[in-house]
Amino acid sequence: MVTSIVLISADRMKIPETAQELAEIDGIAEVYSVSGEFDIIAIVRVQEYEQLATLVTEKLSKMPNITGTRTHMAFRTYSKHDLDHIFDIGGND
């Protein structure tokens, strides 16, 4: 599984619509509107790097309300949620 964080600059008048469009794209797991330098953050989870390349360079770059992106690749996951899931063997009744 390839996970990446895509920081997105968008037309500020169309952030909600853009975020909703992003959320409907296969491979985008989560979408957040945020404060700061960027307007939207998308968490992408795909099986192969080629899928990530296609998603960012072909789909996102062609969306008219997106003015720029910056993509960060995740190497490892350290979140408590993910670690709990890995070690969960059921029977926690």
Q: What are the residues whose beta carbons fall under 8 Å from the beta carbon of 74, sequence distance 6 or more?
A: 3, 4, 5
pLDDT per position as a tens digit, 26-54: 999 999 999 999 999 999 999 999 999 99
Residues 78-85, mean pLDDT to the nearest whole number = 64
In sequence order, the β-bridge partners of residue 45 are 3
CA distance 53 to 76: 19
Decide if pLDDT at 81 tops 70.
no
Q: Where are the domains of the chain?
A: 2-87
Alpha carbon of residue 50 to chain centroid: 15
Give the architecture (CATH level 2) of 2-87.
2-Layer Sandwich (3.30)
pLDDT of residue 53: 95
pLDDT per position as a tens digit, 8-26: 999 999 999 999 999 999 9
